[in-house]
């Protein structure tokens, strides 16, 4: 048995799947936002303004892509809400997706997801901890491809940007949900919410269709900095190749996985571990010397 998390072909593309601009409540205009991300080495940016979808084709460059997207929401009481981020193919008609804010009296959380779902769509449950979603609310929703395992903006705002516990809860229940790291960009100061978390996507080309295809196939990882070069299961052994890291954690279930640490100042770049048997999924977290993490997608084992 040989399972690789990434395809052999294609190229790595760096992208932020969650960003606001002056088209909603962000402080940076779309053109400046795109230019800043491009200057930081990003290949694509999804501008996901609140309840409005904008294609922004004029900001595309030969080496930079705007992936059309938006964020939608339903408030639930004073402190609880649901926010969902979606990316769409470049040729989606805008009027299909320019609908007003979800109304909790008229629309359930599942209605909102159902309305956004469709072909060539990638849907992410945004910052569930900041939204103060209960585990049973996260569990009850169907039809999202990913959960934000790390959201820079809500983490820096009030330490509410991490969701690995909720993600593993879903994975233990055999849900096929991927992890995304993103910025949820609103501002532009040094302590702001830019360039803190992103995805590395292995795609055929820098087009919206290729990136969406790679995302929905799970051909990507989430990161705050470390790189995952390969993640493979072969003949009952897990192999992870990464940029120099101090910790590599293999998270599994029902057996409880294993953590590996650097020794004697030798960082880890290659980790091999036998499976214990009976795992339904295996995922890797690689942590570097400054505490930044990269999250692989799970490899599911039947």
Could you tell me which stretch among 121-129, 162-170, 193-201, 210-218 binds Zn ion (CB under 5 A)? 121-129
C-beta of residue 278 within 8 angstroms of C-beta of residue 295: no
Look-up: residue for tokens 């214990």? 276
User: Counting contacts by CB under 5 A, is residue 45 touching Zn ion?
Assistant: no
Q: Which residues of 94-127 are buried (b: 16+ CB within 10 A; e: fewer)?
A: eeebeeeebebeebebeebbebbeeeebbbbbbb
Could you tell me which stretch among 80-88, 157-165, 189-197, 248-256 binds Zn ion (CB under 5 A)? 80-88
State which residue, 155 or 184, has the beta carbon closest to Zn ion: 184
Pairing of strands 44-47, 11-19: parallel
Q: What's the min distance (Å) between Cβ of 112 and Zn ion?
A: 13
Q: What's the min distance (Å) between Cβ of 266 and Zn ion?
A: 40
Could you tell me which stretch among 25-33, 77-85, 219-227, 258-266 binds Zn ion (CB under 5 A)? 77-85
Joined tokens for residue 160: 């509410």
- Please give the residues from 196 up to 255 whose contact with Zn ion meets the rule CB under 5 A: none
State which residue, 129 or 170, has the beta carbon closest to Zn ion: 129
Q: What's the min distance (Å) between Cβ of 28 and Zn ion?
A: 13
State which residue, 21 or 224, has the beta carbon closest to Zn ion: 21
The DSSP line for 115-170 is HH--TTEEEEE--TTTTT--HHHHHH----SEEEEEEHHHHHHHS--B-HHHHHHH
Q: What's the min distance (Å) between Cβ of 294 and Zn ion?
A: 22
Q: Which of 49, 148, 184, 285 binds Zn ion (CB under 5 A)?
A: 184
Positive or negative torsion for Cα 73, 76, 82, 88? negative
Could you tell me which stretch among 6-14, 27-35, 89-97, 126-134 binds Zn ion (CB under 5 A)? 126-134
Q: Which of 56, 59, 67, 126 binds Zn ion (CB under 5 A)?
A: 126
Could you tell me which stretch among 64-72, 194-202, 221-229, 290-298 binds Zn ion (CB under 5 A)? 64-72
C-beta pairs of 157-161 under 8 Å, 24+ apart in sequence: 157/130, 157/193, 158/130, 160/127, 160/129, 160/130, 161/127, 161/129, 161/130
Q: Which of 55, 72, 83, 145 binds Zn ion (CB under 5 A)?
A: 83
Q: What's the min distance (Å) between Cβ of 235 and Zn ion?
A: 43
Size of the site for Zn ion (CB under 5 A): 4
State which residue, 75 or 255, has the beta carbon closest to Zn ion: 75
Which 8-state DSSP code applies to residue 105? T
C-beta of residue 73 within 8 angstroms of C-beta of residue 67: no
Pairing of strands 228-234, 258-261: unpaired
Q: What's the min distance (Å) between Cβ of 200 and Zn ion?
A: 21
C-beta of residue 293 within 8 angstroms of C-beta of residue 226: yes
- CA gap 124, 177 in Å, rounded: 9
State which residue, 148 or 279, has the beta carbon closest to Zn ion: 148
Closest by CA position to 185, among listed 14, 44, 13, 46:
46
State which residue, 24 or 262, has the beta carbon closest to Zn ion: 24
Q: What's the min distance (Å) between Cβ of 83 and Zn ion?
A: 3
Please give the residue ranges that form the binding site for Zn ion (CB under 5 A): 71, 83, 126, 184
């Amino acid at each position: 048995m040989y399972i690789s998390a990434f395809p052999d072909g294609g190229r790595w593309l760096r992208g932020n799947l969650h960003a606001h601009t002056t088209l909603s409540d962000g402080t940076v205009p779309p053109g400046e936002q795109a230019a800043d991300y491009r200057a930081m080495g990003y290949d694509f940016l999804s501008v996901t303004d609140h309840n409005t979808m904008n294609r922004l084709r004029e900001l595309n460059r030969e080496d930079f892509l705007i992936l059309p997207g938006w964020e939608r929401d339903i408030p639930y009481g004073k402190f609880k809400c649901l926010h969902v981020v979606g990316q769409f193919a470049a040729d989606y008609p805008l009027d299909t997706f320019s609908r007003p804010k979800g109304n909790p009296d008229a629309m359930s959380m599942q209605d909102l997801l159902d309305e956004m779902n469709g072909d060539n769509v990638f849907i992410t449950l945004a910052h569930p901890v900041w939204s103060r979603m209960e585990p049973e609310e996260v569990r009850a929703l169907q039809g999202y491809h990913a959960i934000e395992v790390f959201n820079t903006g809500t983490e820096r705002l009030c330490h509410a940007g991490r969701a690995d516990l909720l993600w593993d809860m879903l994975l233990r229940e055999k849900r096929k949900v991927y992890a995304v790291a993103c910025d949820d960009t609103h501002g532009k100061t040094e302590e702001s919410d830019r360039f803190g978390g992103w995805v590395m996507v292995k795609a055929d080309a820098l087009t919206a269709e290729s990136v969406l295809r790679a995302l929905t196939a799970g051909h990507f990882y989430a990161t705050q900095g470390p790189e995952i070069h390969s993640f493979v299961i072969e003949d009952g052994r897990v192999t992870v190749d990464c940029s120099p890291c101090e910790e590599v954690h293999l998270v599994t279930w029902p057996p409880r996985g294993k953590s590996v640490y650097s020794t004697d100042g030798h960082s880890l770049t290659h980790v091999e571990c036998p499976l214990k048997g009976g795992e339904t999924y295996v995922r890797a977290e690689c942590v570097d010397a400054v505490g930044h993490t990269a999250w692989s997608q799970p490899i599911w084992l039947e």
